[in-house]
Structure 1
Amino acid sequence: MLRASHLPPIANPALGALRVSLFSCLSLSSPSSRLKVSKFAPFRTLIPPAFGPSSPHRSLLSLERVVPLRGLPCPKGTASFSAGSNSGGGREILVQHLLVKEDKLLVDLQHRILGGEDLSDLAVEYSVCPSKEEGGMLGWVRKGQMVPEFEEAAFNAPLNKVVRCKTKFGWHLLQVLSEREESVLQDIQPDELHAKMQDPNFLEEAQLIDVREPEEVSQASLPGFQVLPLRQFGNWGPEIDTKLDSQKDTYVLCHHGMRSLQVAKWLQTQGFQRVFNVAGGIHAYALKADQSIPTY
């Protein structure tokens, strides 16, 4: 079983402080692929090569570090400087930035961007933030995840407008590349899920995913759940858009609720609007909701 204690800490204290939530969306596969790599690639880099049947207790690295690349527009030629006034309630924004220590350098970089250079390219060369390795990409963020000065500037910036702000880390140039409605990720208790499953319409309207391994499913299972084993992520992960509808309510199940929580968080980064993790997994479901389900 995967435990929260298995997840690695944020390596850089300054970067961890900048992004004050547990979501540290600063792990892409490579700087050169920041606008071209599929959304599967960042997830793939987080799975240890040896993770497989021979290592049942081998932990995945944190899925909270995944950066979604769906719909990422190319910002070249679109940058300008502005200070708009949008509210951040109920939405998430896709942000890239660069960080420098000197305001003189910041002004020079502003002029270069206005001249047509790309902020992400300049971030690789000049930024002192670890995100420089990813072209300054911070990923999807929502209010409450960033330090106040950065958050205020980002959520007030019109799309593709380069904005500057100052935080305790230095001077930032940031650019909001895209926005979307804030998604929902929450636990659902076994008895609540059991009640929903008594309605035939629920099984038709929702999509149910069991991320346990086949040998586990053979011991205990729930009707209507599509089995997508976590160890076989390489097979189904790249095709998630063809297998599931991101606009449907999605319920994720495992043995005790930890693996399913990680997958649920990943689905959220992929644009799934309403994701529910079955709290306690099928074990809790068998104890609290339907004792005809065997435990193992």
Structure 2
Amino acid sequence: MLRRAPHFPPMASTALRLSLVPALSFSSSPPPPPPSQSRCISTPPPHHLLPPPLGGRKLRPVRPASPHPRLRLAGISASFSSQSSSGNGRELLVQHLLIKENDLNLLLELQQRISAGEDLSDLAVEHSICPSKEQGGMLGWVRMGQMVPEFEEAAFSAPMNKVVKCKTKFGWHLLQVLSEREGSVLQDIQPDELHAKMQDPNFLEEAQLVDVREPEEVAKASLPGFQVLPLRQFGSWGPEITTKLDTEKDTYVMCHHGMRSLQVAKWLQAQGFKRVFNLSGGIHEYAVKADPSIPTY
């Protein structure tokens, strides 16, 4: 029996992941911290892995130009640290549905319908009690350490494209691994380290440098080689980011103090960029610690 291709919605559920697409703040000053949210699968994130304070407009992942999950589909994956993804570096593209623990008759019915050829994403929209039902049960790319142990064990041992079941404290899950890839990296880079790199002409040719400050800020202070993509103009450049920039190249992101750039760096990682670096402290710290010829403001 022929089965149609899995449904790949444009974004992952904001209720299921340890770290998802962050809200991108349009202010350089830190607003109040975000309220706590209930999470269906993920364990509470360590404090140092939380995104910067939210409070601004939320930006959704861009629908990829290619539907192939290995090329462009991505959810937030690697943690923000100086190391690459934990575990063995694998990331899985996962979709699932969730039903109540005592709803065994429905569980059996859904398993039978899947065996008969129905798609898990369609059944998730119809029956799942998880907020990810709005995206056909799509969780995006996940890695070791993001999910509760039972779900994680089932996902990372499941055969590709085979629907398997597991039970967690939230209920029964039917999950499907759609694709696999090598984990991405999101790192902090110190001003003196970036300054040293920028002395090498080859660095400016090989790397992608992105300044997410507003034009009036760039007029006050700037660094050579940085492409200006103002955060307030996200609507114009965001949907075309994978055509403007190469997801395979090292990408460095800068703002005034390093908060907006960290949020954009996380978002770029969500779009499938393999190696993303955030300038710690932004151009201000760069001017203070690495190059005093750069004006501060």
Same fold? TM cut 0.5: yes
Q: Which structure has more helix as a fraction of its residues?
A: 1
**8 Å CA contact 2:189, 2:280 repeated in 1:** yes
Determine if contact 1:21/1:146 at 8 Å carries over to the other structure. no
User: For the structure 1 residues 14 and 197, does the alpha-carbon distance in structure 2 shift closer, same or farther, using more than 3 Å as the test?
Assistant: closer
Letter in 2 for 1:9: P
Secondary structure (helix, strand or coil) at the match of 2:165 reads strand
Aligned to 1:9: 35
Preserved contact between residue 91 and residue 143 of structure 2 (Cα < 8 Å): yes
Distance 2:30 2:151 in 1: 28
Q: CA RMSD in A?
A: 2.4
Aligned partner of residue 43 in structure 2, secondary structure: coil
Fraction of identical pairs, as percent? 73
208-217 or 95-104, which moves further after superposition? 95-104
Q: 1:60 and 2:56 equivalent?
A: yes
Partners of 1:264 and 1:6 lie apart in 2 by 21
Shift of 1:8: 3.6
Tell me how far 1:10 sits from its aligned partner. 5.0
Which residue does 1:112 correspond to in 2?
113
Structure 2 residue aligned with 1:31: none
Tell me the TM-score normalized by structure 2. Answer: 0.77
Runs of 4 or more above 6 Å deviation: none
Residues 205-228 of structure 1 show CA distances to partners (whole Å, capped at 9, x for unaligned) of 111000001100000000110111
In the alignment, the residues of structure 2 paired with residue 203 and residue 241 of structure 1 have an alpha-carbon distance, to the nearest angstrom, of 19
Corresponding residue pairs, total: 246
Partner Cα distance (2:64, 2:208) in 1: 23
Gaps of at least 5 residues in structure 2 are 1-26, 47-53, 70-86
Give the TM-score normalised by structure 1: 0.77
Identify which of 18, 42, 45 aligns with 1:19: 42
Displacement of 1:103 in angstroms is 2.5
Q: Render the CA deviation track for 1:87-122: whole Å, top value 9, x for unaligned.
A: x72121111111112222111101101111111111
CA contact (8 A) 2:251 2:277 kept: yes
What is the CA-CA distance between 1:21 and the residue it aligns to? 5.5
2:272 paired with 1:276: no
Write the letter of the residue equivalent to 1:258. M
The aligned residue for residue 250 of structure 1 is 251
Q: 1:272 to 1:21 in 2, by over 3 A?
A: farther
Structure 1 contact 93–177 (Cα < 8 Å) conserved: yes
Looking at structure 1, the residues matched to 44 and 29 of structure 2 have their Cα atoms a distance apart, in angstroms, of: 19
Work out the CA distance in 1 between the residues paired with 2:135 and 2:104. 23
